[in-house]
Every structure is written in structure tokens, then in C-alpha cells.
Structure 1
Amino acid sequence: MRVLAARTADTVTFHAVELFKQATALQRRGIDIISLGVGEPDFTAAPQVIQAMQLAAQSGKSGYSPPAGLPELREAIAEFYTKQLGAKVDPHRVIVTSGASGALLLAAMALVNPGDEVLMPDPCYPPNRNFVGAAGGTTKLIPTTIANRFQLSDTDIEQHWGPATRGVLIASPSNPTGTSIPREALARLIKQVHARNGFVMMDEIYLSLSYDGVRQSALALDDNLIILNSFSKYFNMTGWRLGWMIVPTHMVEPIEKMAASLAICAPTLAQHGAIACFDPEALAIFEQRREAFRQRRDYLVPALKALNIDVPVTPDGAFYVYGDISAHSPDSSAFSAALLNGARVAAVAGLDFGPAHAANTMRFAYTTGLERLQEAIHRLKVFLG
């Protein structure tokens, strides 16, 4: 048997997978586990979306779509940006992909050459590094600070940009912190990167799940960005595997060619369903769910603080709280295991998101109902004494 390619060993492991395996094993034994670990909404696709997909299937619309996606869906996404996210977008620049992961893979393949370096914040979503690696590049994780809301700054770009650096990948709001980059700070960061002829890949997967202030795409600041987004989080369609990217005009044709070669197209039935996401009735449902997430955040943050789990930066988006557990343990991985086995609560240790804050942080996801969150806090209170 042939030896496996070196990239299989270089792939960043998501340690939370082992936590979820252990939690599942306990649940199979009849033990009730409250998961604050999974970054997946507890809501499912809106009824309008399901009905649209069913109608498409019944009508035989299950063949390949164009590689860039159904024109009607691209137009709907562009209109959503114009009306909801404060940025005028030409539908031609929208590429529909197999999840945001598909968008990130295409972006990395289009922009990163072997040996190139991409800057990312520490902490950040771990699989992002794997997409850069798949293109032959490397990732440089830059430790972030509470003062900068666990986000990169223009000063970070100045200090860490090297001869091999080609660009930056940032998320706002972020996984795992739930924090956004203030508008003025983001503008300064983009300016620094573009002054070095670099690219900015902007993960806006959680942008529509922002709770404080105006929801506005980074495209409102600068048109020369690569935007990554998804139907998974705000639109509650995780298993449908559908996302999109918005790219500068000169990148459209190369991205389309790669999309046709790598995936042919995103799932067509999912695309037909997704068009219904932008119906007013469906958008009203998503907004009600966003409000439910806001209420959960407003409960969980002070509840964790009352348990001496500090939340140094209040999250303004996504559905995560990034907590400091150093008052209870010097080892977040051991503390995560203790919570699972002692309190029957699953939460993710900071190790997954980068080494800078790994030992003393954990990610708590409020992707379960308010009553279950309250029960989780009760269990933690009893466990921690």
C-alpha cells in the first residue's frame, strides 16, 4: 500500500471531535448531556425553504446548475446584501458554493501559491488553516488581545507581514469569540493589507447574527475583498451544504473554472430551496430566531460570570461565549473533560482555536434553548460548588 501524502499528517485536528464522541457515548448509555459545544443552530430550515426544495424535486429540477450557481439565487444573494447588509453587489460577482468550506477552498486555490503565508488571528476557527495548507500555503497565527476584541489590528499587519505573506483571513463576528471588528479598525486593517498588495478574505458567516449596532458587510468599506458566507448559521441550513463567495470581477472567471472542475456545482436542490430564504415570510422567521439567540446571549454571559468564568469581551454576534476559566483550572482541556463527566455539560476547550489563549479559555455555544441553558448553568453551579 502506498504511503499517504504528507498533507494528511499536517491537517489540523479538531480536538472537539473527541469531546463529542465521548458525549455521544454517554448519551447512548442514557445519560443526559447538555451540549454547549456544537456550533450548529438548534433551529432547522424555514418551512418556505423546505417547501421550495420539495417542489423543485417534484418538478425534476435536480440536474446540474451552472458552476457559479442558479442565476435566481445569485441575484437574491446580491439583493440581500443591498437591502440588508449595506453593500451594493453585482450578481455576477456572487459564486454559489458547497458550503462556506467550498468557498474558502476555492479562494485559497485561487490566491495562495506553495510557500505563501496567510495571517490569521489566534484564536480562530481551526479548519481554516487546512484550506490554506491544501493550496500549499502556511498559516501564521497572530496572538490577539482583549483590547482588540480578540481580532487583528492594522498594527498586527504592520508587525507580522513578512516576505512570504500574501494576505489575511479574518472573521467578523468570529468563531470562537463571537466578537466583531469595529468598522474604523477594519477599514485601517484593509488599508494596511492593500498597501502591501495583499488580499483580504473576509468570513461573514455570522454577520447576519449580529446583535449590537448596524449589520453591514465589509464590502461597504472596500469593494476589493473576497467575502465568504454560508446558509448554515443565520439561515439554519447546516446539512444542506450551501454557501457563497463574493469576489472582485477579475476573479469571477477563474473561480468559475475551478468550481466546475472541483465540484461541478453546489447541490442544486439546496439552491432551489435557498432562493426561498429571501422571501419576506422566511426572513421574518430568521429574525425571530436571531432575537432568540440574543436573549440566550444576554442570559449566558452574566450567568457564566456569576460562576467566576470571566467573559472579558462581551460577544456581539454569532452564538458563542469565549470564557476565561483560569479561576477554576490552569488546563482548559482537563476542565472540559471534568465538566463533561462531572456536570454532564459539554463545552469546547480553547486548544482547538490556537495556542495563545488555549490553557485558560473555553468556548460555550448557546445553540440550545433557554431552559436547557438554565439547566446547564445549574449543573455547573452544583459542580463548581
Structure 2
Amino acid sequence: MSALQVSSEERKRPGSDIANTREWSGRFPYNEIISLLDVNRSFNLAESTSQDLTVGELLDLADLESIRGLTLGYGKSAGGLELREAIADACKVSSEKVITTHGVALGLFLLAFEVCRPGDEAVLATPCFPPSRDCLIGAGVNVREVKLTFERSYRLDVDGIEAELSPKTRLVSIASPQNPTGVQTSRADIERLLGLIERRSPEALLFIDETYREATYGDARAVDSFAGLDARIVTGASVSKALGAPGLRTGWLTVAEPDLRSRLTVAKMNTVISGAVLDEALATVLLRNKEKVLAPRRQLLGSALEQVAAWCDAERKRVEWVQPDAGALCCMRLRGDAWDETATSRFWGLLPHHDLQLASGTWFGETNRVFRLGFGYLPPASLGSALSALSSVLDAAMS
């Protein structure tokens, strides 16, 4: 069974209509990453979030009376004021520059749909989270990909982006930290990129996905958001990854230009009307108390990263990796001098038999020798066992 196949049992799971993918004709490309919503094995190293927050943990931080008194009417299309103020504090911008969205992917889709017209182009750094590419395609944008490489530790290729910029470019899309690699982009590279955009694509915006910015390790603090650096920058983030609340479906954009904010608010009104008021209220509680949630998670992520680093060192003759700067994830690669295509196929086929999940590099625009390994989702007691199981798969695949 390859990385892009599932068992007959898994194919029957609700929402997983894998059998018809060869005839796929949807406006949005099909990507097998959707299987993560349907399959959750005991040793799930495919997930990219930190451990899921429980409703009880979140309610312990809340004023329950204010939650009980919440009226379930429509919210504001721009997002609730208290939530936007909490986001603004984290991003160091004014609350009027914040628009809430149902996760970052919807925000990027609405941004692309609004700023791009037929024939316009977007330049995208890959590998990337699949919706970051596919929502651009779904919006009808011509996407020009700049492939970052394992050999260069997935550092942003500013020269490569420059080569793809043109007067037709309306959007440049990157992530920092990246998904699937956890690699951050420096302020110097962002400033250089802005200069190139101004010269070669003066009508373009720079979108920066900062979803993993606050998922740091140990005592390390998050770098500042790029939100207030330049009016041409639109940032996106959510409570999903670092804070472990993807089920709240609450994300946001920071948008400096008033006319674009108005257009995006109208676009949101015409697609989802508003966010769910309960989700937004709980997200506000979470952001106002985020240090109580982030502090212990930083320690867990730091310890988990040490475990992964030790495992990679022990497996260095078979596996190589790019150490992440932040996030609950990293990229690994089966070494080319140790793995042929047959052994690589066996590797993917053996994972389910060891109750393991990994995220195939093919989902993100890489080869099948690359995989994303998530080290923040499993409880600490399970991570070591999962890595041991992964070593067993390596043994069996190479035998």
C-alpha cells in the first residue's frame, strides 16, 4: 500500500471517497492529506498540531457566566471586537486591521479571490501546506511555484521568487515557520523580498502564514509577527497549531489597507456571513490566556524535539532531516544512498501494519522519500514508542 492509498476499511470511512480520485474534476485539486481527518492511528506522527486542548481545559480559563450569557445570534463579518483586540495585541497592530476567518486557508482563499482576476499570477514557495496551493488554484489564480530544497534546508529562495515575479503578479505567498518543515524566514529576507516585489510587481501583496510562530521550544520566545512591518504584508494565523484548538476553526488575517479590508469583509459576508459566536468567544478566552497554554507546551515541544534529534542521530545512516526553527513538525528524508524505489514503496506500505502514520512529502510538493513527522501531537509517553516502531519499519523495509 503506497503513501497515497488507504485500506478498504479506511476507504469506507465517512467523508473519505478515495475510490474516485482518478476521475477527480473538482475546482479544488484533490490531496490525500484529507485522510488525516478520517484516520488516526495509535502512532500518529502525521499530525502537525500540538496536543489537542480539551473543552474542559479551555472552560477552566473562562468566565463561565459570560459564556452562559452569550447569545447565539449572528456575529460581525469582520469578527468580534474582543477577539480582534486579542489578536491585535499578539500581532502588535490595531484591531481595525484584523479580520477573523474560518482558519487561515479560508482567509488565503478570500484574499486570492479578491485581489486576483483572470490572468493574474501568484508566486508560491513550496513545499507547502496543500490548501495554501490548492485554494489559489480553486480561486482561479495562475500559480508559479518556487521549490525550496532539502539540500538548502528549505531556506527561502528569494532569488528564485524574484525570477518568477512579473507585472501580472498580484500575490506572493510564503509561510514562516513553514509547513511541512518548521523553517523560519528572517526579517532581512522579508525586507529584501519586499524590495523586489516593489520593483518587479508593484501591485502585488506579500502573504505570510504565521500559524506556527508561537510554537517554540523550551524557554525560547516567539519572534515578532511581520504584521506591522509593511503595508503590503498580509499575515494569517489561527488558534489551531501552537494552541492546540483546530476544532474552534478560528483564524485571522491582518490587513493594513482599508479598502482591501472592506472588500474582504464583504467577501466573508457573502461566503460564511460571520464566524460562530461561541467559537470566537472561546478563541478570545484562549488568546487572552495563551501564555498559560503555551508555556507548558513549549516545554513539551522542546523535550519532544530532543527525542526526535536523538532518534535521527541514531538513524543517520538511513534517514536525514532538517531541524525546525519552530512548530510541532519537521521534514525527514530517506537517504538516497540507502533507499531505492522498491524499498521506499515497502516503507510506505508497512506503516499501517505498525499502527503508524506519516505525512507523505508528495502531499506538499516533495518526493515520496520525504515525509513530515509531527512530534507534538502524541503524548510524551507515546512518542518514544512511535519512533521505535518507525525504526522497525525501516528495518523491515530494507530487509
The one-letter code of the counterpart of 1:352 is W
2:18 — aligned with what?
Answer: none
The one-letter code of the counterpart of 2:132 is N
Q: Does 1:152 align with 2:156?
A: yes
Change (3 A) 1:201 1:333: farther
Residue among 367, 387, 396 paired with 1:377: 387
Distance in structure 2 (CA, Å) of the matches to 1:331 and 1:155: 36
1:288 — aligned with what?
Answer: 296
3-state SS of paired residue (1:218): coil
- Compute the TM-score of the two structures, normalised by the length of structure 2: 0.83
Deviation at 1:138, TM superposition (A): 2.1
2:71 — aligned with what?
Answer: 61
Distance in structure 1 (CA, Å) of the matches to 2:190 and 2:178: 13
Q: Note if contact 2:99-2:254 (Cα within 8 Å) is conserved in structure 1.
A: yes
Deviation at 1:294, TM superposition (A): 2.0
Deviation at 1:384, TM superposition (A): 2.7
Aligned 1:205-224 pairs, distance under 5 A: 205-211=211-217, 214-224=222-232
2:80 — aligned with what?
Answer: 70
3-state SS of paired residue (1:208): coil
Structure 1: give runs of 5+ residues left out of the alignment: 1-5, 28-32, 83-88
Distance in structure 1 (CA, Å) of the matches to 2:36 and 2:256: 40
The one-letter code of the counterpart of 2:298 is R
Deviant stretches of 4+, over 6 Å: none
Distance in structure 1 (CA, Å) of the matches to 2:392 and 2:347: 16
Aligned 1:98-247 pairs, distance under 5 A: 98-146=102-150, 148-162=152-166, 164-195=168-199, 196-197=201-202, 198-211=204-217, 214-247=222-255
Distance in structure 1 (CA, Å) of the matches to 2:227 and 2:45: 32
Residue among 258, 261, 264 paired with 2:273: 264
Deviations 1:279-311 (A, max 9, x none): 34x422222112211221121133134223544
1:346 — aligned with what?
Answer: 357
Residue among 41, 48, 60 paired with 1:39: 48
Distance in structure 2 (CA, Å) of the matches to 1:145 and 1:153: 9
Deviations 1:254-292 (A, max 9, x none): 111111111111111111112212334x42222211221
The one-letter code of the counterpart of 1:111 is V
Deviation at 1:70, TM superposition (A): 1.0
Q: Note if contact 2:50-2:243 (Cα within 8 Å) is conserved in structure 1.
A: no
- Compute the TM-score of the two structures, normalised by the length of structure 1: 0.85
The one-letter code of the counterpart of 2:194 is I
The one-letter code of the counterpart of 1:203 is D
- RMSD of Structure 2 on Structure 1 (CA): 2.6
1:328 — aligned with what?
Answer: 339
Q: Does 1:11 align with 2:13?
A: no
Deviation at 1:342, TM superposition (A): 4.3
Change (3 A) 1:169 1:337: same
The one-letter code of the counterpart of 2:345 is A
How many residues are matched? 363
The one-letter code of the counterpart of 2:77 is P
Q: Note if contact 1:157-1:193 (Cα within 8 Å) is conserved in structure 2.
A: no
Q: Does 1:274 align with 2:286?
A: no
Distance in structure 2 (CA, Å) of the matches to 1:331 and 1:138: 35
1:249 — aligned with what?
Answer: 257
1:315 — aligned with what?
Answer: 324
Moved more, 118-127 or 322-331: 322-331
Change (3 A) 1:60 1:209: closer
3-state SS of paired residue (2:244): coil
The one-letter code of the counterpart of 2:227 is L
The one-letter code of the counterpart of 1:116 is D
Deviation at 1:228, TM superposition (A): 0.7
Q: Note if contact 1:78-1:90 (Cα within 8 Å) is conserved in structure 2.
A: yes
Deviation at 1:372, TM superposition (A): 1.2
Moved more, 129-138 or 39-48: 39-48
Change (3 A) 1:233 1:341: closer
Distance in structure 2 (CA, Å) of the matches to 1:260 and 1:53: 29
Q: Note if contact 1:333-1:350 (Cα within 8 Å) is conserved in structure 2.
A: no
Structure 2: give runs of 5+ residues left out of the alignment: 1-22
Deviation at 1:222, TM superposition (A): 2.3
Distance in structure 2 (CA, Å) of the matches to 1:203 and 1:180: 11
Distance in structure 1 (CA, Å) of the matches to 2:361 and 2:266: 38
Change (3 A) 1:220 1:71: closer
Deviation at 1:216, TM superposition (A): 1.3
3-state SS of paired residue (2:230): coil
Distance in structure 1 (CA, Å) of the matches to 2:144 and 2:344: 23
The one-letter code of the counterpart of 1:200 is L
The one-letter code of the counterpart of 1:238 is P
Change (3 A) 1:77 1:332: farther
Deviation at 1:20, TM superposition (A): 7.1
Q: Note if contact 1:350-1:361 (Cα within 8 Å) is conserved in structure 2.
A: yes
Deviation at 1:111, TM superposition (A): 1.4
The one-letter code of the counterpart of 1:349 is S
The one-letter code of the counterpart of 2:112 is A
Deviation at 1:53, TM superposition (A): 8.3
